[in-house]
Amino acid sequence: MEVAGLIVAAGRGRRLGDDLPKQYQSLGSGTVLGQAIRAMLAHPGVTRLLVVIHPGDRTLYKRTVADIADPRLTPPVTGAGTRSGSVLRGLEALAADPPAQVLIHDAARPFLAPAVIDAVLAALAQADGAVPALPVVDALWRGEDGRAIAPVPRAGLWRAQTPQGFRFEAILAAHRAHGADAAADDAEVACAAGLDVNLVPGDESGFKITDAADLARARKREQAMDVRTGQGFDVHAFGPGDAVTLCGVQVPHDRGLAGHSDADVAMHAITDAIFGALAEGDIGTWFPPSDPAWKGAASEIFLRKAVERAGARGFRITHIDCTLICERPKIGPHAEAMRAAIARITGIAMERVSVKATTSERLGFTGREEGIAALATATLVQA
- CATH 3.30.1330.50 residue ranges for the chain: 227-382
Residue 242's Cβ-count burial label (10 Å; 0-12, 13-18, 19+) is exposed
Residue 14 — very low, low, confident or very high, per pLDDT cuts 50/70/90? low
The pLDDT of 174-199, averaged and rounded, is 93
- Integer Cα distance of 316 and 310 in angstroms: 6
Residue 224 — very low, low, confident or very high, per pLDDT cuts 50/70/90? low
SS3 content of the chain, % helix, strand, coil (to 5): 35, 30, 35
Superfamily, domain 227-382: 2-C-methyl-D-erythritol 2,4-cyclodiphosphate synthase (3.30.1330.50)
- Integer Cα distance of 198 and 352 in angstroms: 46
Q: What is the largest CA-CA distance in the chain?
A: 95
Q: Is the pLDDT of residue 222 over 80?
A: no
Q: What is the pLDDT of residues 268-286, one digit of tens each?
A: 999 999 999 999 999 999 9
Q: Are 105 and 7 in contact, with CB atoms under 8 Å apart? A: yes
Highest mean pLDDT out of 24-33, 119-128, 221-230, 291-300:
119-128
Looking at residue 239, its pLDDT comes to 94
Looking at residue 337, its pLDDT comes to 97
Please, which residues bridge with residue 324 across strands? 357, 374
Average pLDDT of the chain to the nearest whole number? 94
What end-to-end distance do the CA atoms of the chain give, in Å?
Answer: 46
- Integer Cα distance of 27 and 153 in angstroms: 37
- CATH 3.90.550.10 residue ranges for the chain: 3-222
Higher model confidence: residue 262 or residue 226? 262
Count of positions (residues) in the chain? 383
Alpha helices in 83-198 (DSSP H): 83-94, 114-123, 168-178, 186-192
Q: What is the pLDDT of residues 94-122, one digit of tens each?
A: 999 999 999 999 999 999 999 999 999 99
Q: How many CB atoms lie within 10 A of CB 145?
A: 5
Q: Are 325 and 358 in contact, with CB atoms under 8 Å apart? A: yes
CA dihedral defined by 33, 39, 45, 50, rounded to 10 degrees?
10
Kind and range of the H or E element at 147?
A: strand 147-152
Residue 74's Cβ-count burial label (10 Å; 0-12, 13-18, 19+) is middle
Q: Are 87 and 52 in contact, with CB atoms under 8 Å apart? A: yes
- Integer Cα distance of 71 and 247 in angstroms: 59
In terms of CATH architecture, what is 3-222? Alpha-Beta Complex (3.90)
329 cis-preceded (ω within 30 degrees of 0): yes
Q: Is the pLDDT of residue 16 over 70?
A: no
Q: Are 57 and 21 in contact, with CB atoms under 8 Å apart? A: yes
Q: Is the pLDDT of residue 242 over 70?
A: yes
Residue 382 — very low, low, confident or very high, per pLDDT cuts 50/70/90? confident
Q: Are 111 and 39 in contact, with CB atoms under 8 Å apart? A: yes
Q: Per the confidence metrics, is the pTM higher than 0.85?
A: no
Closest listed residue to residue 279, CA positions, set 309, 234, 318, 299: 309
